[in-house]
Amino acid sequence: MCKGLLSVRYVIVIAIIVVIAIGCQRVSDGQSLGKAPDDLQIARVQRGTIVATVFAVGNVAPDREAHLAFPIMGTVRSVDVSVGDRVEAGQVLASLDTTDLERELANAELNLAIREAELARLKAGPSETDLAAAQAALKAAQEALAAIQAGPSEAEVAVARSALRMARERYERLKSQPDPEAVRQAELQLEQARNSLWHAQAQRDAICGMEGMKSLCEAFEAEVGNRHVAVQMAELALEQAKTPASETELQEAWAQVQLAQERLDKLLAGPDPAELAAAEERVAQARARLEALTSGPSPEELRIAEARVQQAQLALQQARENLADARLIAPFAGLITSVNYRVGDAVRPNLAGITLVDPSTLNIKVNVAEVDVARVQIGQEAEVILDAMPDRPIKGEVISIAPAARSEQGVVNYPVTVRLMEALPEVKPGMTGNVRIMVGQREDVLLVPNRAIRRIRGQHVVIVLKGDELIETPIRIGLSNDTVTEVLEGLKEGDRVVLNPTTIRSGLGSGLLQGGAGD
């Protein structure tokens, strides 16, 4: 039972293979589809020239476009261009206020001069003045140390004792106020001042009463004034002599006594250890300074000085660059298309403010499908038809093909740039255009309309009308464009092909005819 079923299956498989083989043989050798109906559209196979093209859509863009911005912060001082202006390469378009930048440059130049002078002085060695000053400083430090080590002299101790005695006497005198003897002396001095005043008044009255004594009278008037002042001062001295010393005066006097005592005690105690150490340190520093001058700079000192010079040079270079960056310069000749700066604006670095384009050379940038990009090469001719100028084709040339694709929503395209070879004033950046890139051309070849070509099981076929009979004929194709296809094998000039083959139902059944030349 099982063997019988297997035999039947083998027979069915063999039958299917035979049918497929017969069908393939019919396609390859040509199959009659019967008589032609009356509603066929017919075209003849002709010889001619075919130009294969790749179609794409894009927008016009300048070959050179610059979005210019100040690389530093600042305040806009001037805007020297407007939208639509044509400028030359190197022309100033806008500038920033440079007050602070000029000050920074001057400081950088001054700092470099100082650092260079320091390095030169270090290399030249010490001057005689420097040596003499260092030697004098060492000598003074040594003498001060010796004086501290020797302790105070007898004269210094005597002066300190005398100052202490005088401070104590003043304090005691203030404590004993008012002093009767001092009051008596003050009263006596006041009486003498009053007598002198009366005497001066009498002389003045006698002189001023005489005629012709005006000048002498004025002198005696002045003398009387002086005597009045003397009386006032004597009265004040008497008042002070009668007044006891205030608490503040006593405290100040006692503070002077304590200070004088401390000075004397310090002299009698000998040199202070901290003071002695400080004096010794000053001697060591002065000696080291002198030795450094006499021995010359060390390699490390020279390296440090040279590094400071280089640092100052870099700072100066940066200051110059910052000042230069305060001017926005046109990198090439072109047309101003946007200006976003105004005088007084505070700008941030690298925030585009002026757009410059070169309208002398325009391109159109398109996206070419991945199935077509392999046929596109640099240097190929192209035809550009702009939406704004549909009746004026413009010659173009492929100048660049992006090495990497762009994928958007699963569609893979390659950016291609086409140079417009004709300079037309009507063409503006941003215009939309259709581009046909000439990817191949052959002359004197057999051409058949694309409408006549279909694919059957991966093979290109056409239906040829021979007499009143329709023959399904396989062909081998070459170049193709959007209207015709080159035929390499299967047809000859003058053959009549059907343009609407899908209306025909062959003996192989409907649905076997499908697609077109590009499928």
Residue 76 near residue 341 (C-beta atoms within 8 A)? yes
> Are 317 and 288 part of one and the same domain?
no
Q: What is the pLDDT of residue 198?
A: 92
SS3 53: strand
Cα 62 to Cα 365: distance, rounded to the nearest angstrom: 10
More reliable by pLDDT, 18 or 411: 411
Q: CATH number of the domain at 86, please.
A: 2.40.50.100
pLDDT > 70? residue 236: yes
pLDDT digits (tens, 9 = 90+) for 246-275: 788 888 889 998 998 888 887 777 777 888
Lowest-pLDDT range of 51-65, 85-99, 294-308, 398-412: 294-308
> Do 336 and 369 fall within a single domain?
no
Residue 61: inside a domain? yes
Q: Indicate the helix (H) or strand (E) that contains 157.
A: helix 154-175
Q: Please indicate, yes or no, if residue 303 is contained in any of the structural domains.
A: no
Determine the Cα–Cα distance for residues 456 and 512; give it in Å rounded to an integer.
6
**Could you tell me if 458 and 515 are in contact, meaning their C-beta atoms sit under 8 angstroms apart?**
no
What per-residue confidence (pLDDT) applies to 38? 67
Same domain, yes or no, for 400 and 494?
Answer: yes
432-449 and 46-62 beta bridge pairing? antiparallel
CA nearest neighbour of 339 among 24, 42, 69, 141: 69
Q: Where are the alpha helices (DSSP H) in 357-443?
A: 370-373
Q: pTM score > 0.85 for this model?
A: no
CA distance 503 to 451: 12
How confident is the model at residue 456, as a pLDDT? 87
In 3D, which of 509, 410, 501 has the Cα closest to residue 40? 501
Helices (H), 246-394: 247-269, 273-295, 299-324, 370-373
Give pLDDT, residue 463.
93
How many Cα atoms within 13 Å fall on the side-chain side of residue 124?
10
Q: What pLDDT is recorded for position 289?
A: 83
Give the CB-side neighbour count of residue 404, counting CA atoms within 13 A: 2
User: What is the mean predicted confidence (pLDDT) over 426-445?
Assistant: 92
Task: Identify whether residues 413 and 466 lie together within a single domain.
Answer: yes
User: In the predicted model, what is the mean pLDDT of residues 3-14?
Assistant: 44
Mean pLDDT on 429-434: 93
In a shared domain, residues 284 and 395 = no
**Residue 135 domain flag:** yes
User: Could you tell me if 455 and 438 lie in one domain?
Assistant: yes
Give me the percent of the chain exceeding a pLDDT of 70. 89
Same domain, 326 and 424: no
Percent of the chain scored above 90 by pLDDT?
49
What's the rounded mean pLDDT across residues 184-201? 89
More confident residue, 2 or 242: 242
Same domain? For 338 and 412 the reply is no
pLDDT at position 276 is 82
Window from 284-293, 364-373, 502-511 with minimum mean pLDDT = 502-511
Same domain, 283 and 136: yes
What average pLDDT does this structure show over 204-225? 83
What is the band of 30 on the pLDDT scale with cuts at 50, 70, 90?
low
Whether 16 maps to a domain, the answer reads no
Mean pLDDT of the chain, nearest integer: 85
Residue 18 has pLDDT above 50, yes or no: no
Contact 145, 280 (CB under 8 A): yes
Is there a domain that residue 286 lies in?
Answer: yes
| Eight-state DSSP code of residue 156 | H
Which of 1-15, 190-204, 246-260, 389-403 has the least mean pLDDT?
A: 1-15
pLDDT confidence of residue 408: 87
Note the pLDDT of residue 512.
Answer: 39
Tokens of 174: 């203030």
**Does 384 share its domain with 456?**
yes
Domain residue limits at 289: 128-151+277-295
Predicted pLDDT of residue 29: 52
Is the pLDDT at 513 greater than 80? The verdict is no
Same domain, 365 and 493: yes
Rounded mean pLDDT, 125-145:
86
Distance CA 393, CA 389 (A): 8
Within a domain: 363: yes
Q: What digits encode the pLDDT tens for the residues 345-402? A: 999 998 889 999 998 899 999 999 998 899 999 999 999 999 999 999 999 999 999 9
Query: Domain of 492: which CATH number?
Result: 2.40.30.170
Higher-confidence residue: 14 or 107? 107
pLDDT at residue 479 greater than cutoff 70: yes
Helix (H) or strand (E) holding 105, with range, is: helix 99-124
| Number of separate domains in the chain | 3
Q: Is 431 among the domain residues?
A: yes
Q: Residue 239 CB: number of other CB atoms within 10 A?
A: 11
Q: Would you list the DSSP string of 433-450? A: EEEEEEEEEEEEEEEEEG
Q: Is the pLDDT of residue 416 over 60?
A: yes
Q: What is the pLDDT of residues 51-74, one digit of tens each?
A: 888 999 999 999 899 999 999 999
Q: Which residues in 359-429 belong to E strands, given as ranges?
A: 362-369, 381-386, 389-401, 406-408, 411-420
**Residue 423 belongs to a domain:** yes
Mean pLDDT of 180-184: 80
Helix axes 299-324, 99-124, angle to 10 degrees: 160
Crossing angle of helices 273-295 and 128-150, in 10° steps, is: 160
- Count of all residues that appear for the chain in the document: 519
Same domain? 436 vs 326: no
pLDDT score for 475: 95
Summarised one tens digit per residue, pLDDT across range 34-48 is 666 767 889 999 999
pLDDT over 80 (residue 214):
no
